[in-house]
């Protein structure tokens, strides 16, 4: 068996692992990168990239269907197979950046095999043993399939298989009303499928209820059937005829079934016990430095057991590089991590929700809002449904939620404000170009100061004195 001694061994070539490997090797560290599956991980091959490519096609179809005032809508001619060709082409255009060839050109040693720890400082991968000063576990996650009766006999899709489907489903049943379920449901509905979403609790239940309701109303308005508050107790049927039985006895039948009930961390078979790495079903147990119970082993992204977002994995990578490569202190503080559901309208959030802020801050809390209906650009584009809600404590934003056009782009300002501890006055004093959707953030910040400026008797008396006596 071949043997390699290296500075850093990265296990997993998804977003987090690739970021660690690229940064470390370009700074001069010796790096071994191990990946058993596809380079680029879930995000490139079965997650963020293909889903957004599919959503873009679906949005184009819906734009034709709706038309515009003075522009007649038409029934779009959707070639479902060609849409999937677009999805595959987007992946292919991005793939070279994540490829084995690129990382070998940077100086990484890339091993395409499954990694298994054989000790605190060693892993075996294929016919190679790797001994390293530091390890980074970046194995990501896989679709979670709930233990439903019949799930082992009934064909179903996950995000790992649905993008390979070239024939349009007649009726897609989606189990799970979280972001993945909502995005796939709306995209397939717009591409001509009948769609039913089954959620055991509330659709988008993690989000602010008021703003989530705007999204669910839009889904229902497009003809998506939402079934909430009922567990799935049994599956039966075959390809083209799937039957889902709910807890109250109702049955939902469709042609295809998509499991979108969450994710599970991919740590199986790694023999973490041999490395002295503690873990649970949620992921590797890490401290604020992302270091495991074995001080030589870090975990990033989904493997670290926290927020499951590609941008979190990339952020984690920077924290690990500062420590493992540069020897500098660094900690992960997740308070300003944004998340987006790429529905139409989009739903974006960062920081504390209103409920979380009320529990943490009580009477010190102030809620400010601004409607897209009062945004001139939104009105001009006939996209005036939505609002922003900002949670403020002693003059500083601690949370923000937007639902509306380009909410995912607009949330970045609030992520910066929260991470940098900016005051609302900084946002209110910002000069935003007119007319832009971004003005909705400035309007919300201005609303925080409205009562102080317009409802203060003392201020009005001062203004009266200034107007009377100051020349």
pLDDT in tens, 310-325: 999 999 999 999 999 9
Strands 387-393 and 396-404: antiparallel
Ranges 15-29, 324-338, 390-404, 448-462: which has the least confidence: 448-462
- Give the pLDDT band (50/70/90) at residue 453: low
Percent composition of the chain: helix, strand, coil (DSSP 3-state, to 5) = 40, 25, 35
Average pLDDT on 232-244 reads 95
Instruction: Give the model's pLDDT for residue 457.
Output: 80
Give the separation between CA 181 and CA 171, rounded to whole angstroms: 14
Cβ partners under 8 Å of residue 450, min gap 6: none
Backbone angles phi, psi at 25, to 5 degrees: -70, -35
- The count of residues in the chain is 471
Cβ partners under 8 Å of residue 181, min gap 6: 174, 175, 197, 199, 203, 258, 260, 261
Other CB atoms within a 10 A radius of the CB of residue 155 amount to 13
- The pLDDT tens digits for 361-419 are 998 999 999 999 999 999 999 999 999 999 999 999 999 999 999 999 999 999 999 99
Give the separation between CA 109 and CA 104, rounded to whole angstroms: 6
Give the separation between CA 411 and CA 88, rounded to whole angstroms: 29
Average pLDDT on 331-351 reads 96
In the chain, domain spans:
2-39+99-143+264-332, 162-261, 336-454
CB 171 within 8 A of CB 194: yes
Q: By C-alpha distance, which of 405, 401, 426 is closest to 415? A: 401
2-39+99-143+264-332 against 162-261: fold identical: yes
Residue 128, SS3 per DSSP? strand
The fold of the 162-261 domain, in CATH, is FAD/NAD(P)-binding domain (3.50.50)
Structure tokens at 136: 């980074």
Q: Which residues are paired to 265 by β-bridges?
A: 141
At the top level of CATH, which class does the domain 336-454 belong to? alpha beta
Q: By C-alpha distance, which of 91, 20, 83 is closest to 50? A: 91
- The pLDDT tens digits for 259-297 are 999 999 999 999 999 999 999 999 999 999 999 999 999
Give the separation between CA 132 and CA 118, rounded to whole angstroms: 12
Cβ partners under 8 Å of residue 459, min gap 6: 452, 453
In this structure, whether the domain defined by 2-39+99-143+264-332 belongs to CATH 3.60.10.10 is answered with: no
Q: By C-alpha distance, which of 148, 187, 117 is closest to 343? A: 187
Average pLDDT on 178-187 reads 98
Q: By C-alpha distance, which of 204, 339, 314 is closest to 260? A: 204
CB 430 within 8 A of CB 442: yes
The reported pTM is 0.95
pLDDT higher than threshold 80 for residue 452: no
- Give the pLDDT band (50/70/90) at residue 429: very high
Phi/psi region, residue 442 (left: phi>0; alpha: psi -120 to 50; beta: rest), is alpha
- H-helix or E-strand containing 18? helix 15-26
Q: By C-alpha distance, which of 69, 89, 72 is closest to 81? A: 89
pLDDT higher than threshold 70 for residue 149: yes
Give the separation between CA 398 and CA 400, rounded to whole angstroms: 7
CB 134 within 8 A of CB 289: no
């Amino acid at each position: 068996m071949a043997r390699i001694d290296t500075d850093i061994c990265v296990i997993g070539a998804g977003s987090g692992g690739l970021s660690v490997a690229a940064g470390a090797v370009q700074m001069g560290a010796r790096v071994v990168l191990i990946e058993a599956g596809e380079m680029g991980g879930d995000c490139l091959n079965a997650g963020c990239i293909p889903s957004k490519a599919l959503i873009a096609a679906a949005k184009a179809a819906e734009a034709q269907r709706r038309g515009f005032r003075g522009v007649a809508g038409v029934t779009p001619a959707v070639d479902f197979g060609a849409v999937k060709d677009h999805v595959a082409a987007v992946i292919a255009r991005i793939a070279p950046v994540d490829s084995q060839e690129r990382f070998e050109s940077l100086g990484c040693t890339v091993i395409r095999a499954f990694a298994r720890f054989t000790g605190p400082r060693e892993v075996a991968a294929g016919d190679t043993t790797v001994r390293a000063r530091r390890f980074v576990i970046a194995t990501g996650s896989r679709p979670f399939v709930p233990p439903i009766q019949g799930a082992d006999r009934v064909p179903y899709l996950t995000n790992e298989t649905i993008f390979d489907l070239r024939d349009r489903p007649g009726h897609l049943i989606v189990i799970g009303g979280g972001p993945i379920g909502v995005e796939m449901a709306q995209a397939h509905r717009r591409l001509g499928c009948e769609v039913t979403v089954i959620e055991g609790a509330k659709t988008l239940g993690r989000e602010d209820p008021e703003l989530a309701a705007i999204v669910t109303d839009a889904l229902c308005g497009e003809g998506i059937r939402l079934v909430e508050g009922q567990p799935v107790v049994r599956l039966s049927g075959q390809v083209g005829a799937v039957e889902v039985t709910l807890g109250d006895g109702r049955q939902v039948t469709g042609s295809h079934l998509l499991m979108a009930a969450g994710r599970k961390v991919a740590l199986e078979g790694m023999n973490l016990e041999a490395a002295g790495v503690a873990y649970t079903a949620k992921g590797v147990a890490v401290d604020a430095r992302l270091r495991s119970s074995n001080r030589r082993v870090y975990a990033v992204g989904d493997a670290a057991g926290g927020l499951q977002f590609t941008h979190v994995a990339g952020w984690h990578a920077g924290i690990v590089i500062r420590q493992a490569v540069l020897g500098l202190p660094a900690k992960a503080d997740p308070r300003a991590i944004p998340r987006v559901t790429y529905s139409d309208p989009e739903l974006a959030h960062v920081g504390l929700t209103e409920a979380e802020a009320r529990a943490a801050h009580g009477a010190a809390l102030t809620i400010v809002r601004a409607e897209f209906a009062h945004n001139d650009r939104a009105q001009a584009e006939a996209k005036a449904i939505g609002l922003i809600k900002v949670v403020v404590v002693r003059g500083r934003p601690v949370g923000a939620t937007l639902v509306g056009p380009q909410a995912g782009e607009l949330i970045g300002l609030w992520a910066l404000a929260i991470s940098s501890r900016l005051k609302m006055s900084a946002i209110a004093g910002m000069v935003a170009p007119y007319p832009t959707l971004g003005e909705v953030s400035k309007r919300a910040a201005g609303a925080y100061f409205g009562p102080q400026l317009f409802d203060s008797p003392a201020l009005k008396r001062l203004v009266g004195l200034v107007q009377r006596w100051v020349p």
